[in-house]
Amino acid sequence: MFLEWQNILERKLISALKGFNVLLHILLAIALVVASALIVWQFTLEVAESLRDGQLARGFLHALGTLFIVWTLSSLISAEIEYVATSRFHLRVFIEVAMITLLRQLIVEPVQVVAGGSDGNAEVGIWHYAMLLGAIMVVGIVHRLVGDFKDKSA
């Protein structure tokens, strides 16, 4: 008798958790769409501002940094679509987001240093960028290894 009640409770709990998970994924999908739309709007404003101010190079690089955020959101949206369709989530998505974030940092930070007018510490800057490049290489290798493993296991 006790085991029957336990099985019934477990099934109801699992059913409730699945329903809550569906709700969370709906909210996540809506948040990703809204965030993407806002970032695209910000990109448009940044391009217009750089054209108005006549600072095309700086504006372009800053807008490029914003597009990296769109790229990240696009990867997350693709992962959410894959998860909803197949109930599988791939590790490669996290690796792609890490790589995009590092690339964005590599491009945006020099623009911020120039825009801020601070010369910063040149030695720290060199080490910082060397570490960023090293991190990008490591993440790229991991991305490749995970992709190769996925292809072989399929």
Q: pTM for this one?
A: 0.70
By the 8 A CB rule, do 153 and 146 touch?
Answer: no
Is residue 34 in some structural domain?
A: yes
> Per-residue pLDDT tens for 119-151?
555 545 788 888 999 999 999 999 888 886 665
φ, ψ for residue 87, nearest 5 deg: 65, 20
> Per-residue pLDDT tens for 24-57?
999 999 999 999 999 999 988 888 888 898 888 7
Helix, strand, coil tally for the chain in percent (to 5): 90, 0, 10
By the 8 A CB rule, do 76 and 101 touch?
Answer: no
Helix (H, G, I), strand (E, B) or coil at 79: helix
Range of the domain at 89: 9-153
Is residue 142 in some structural domain?
A: yes
Count of domains forming the chain: 1
Is residue 4 in some structural domain?
A: no
Is residue 3 in some structural domain?
A: no
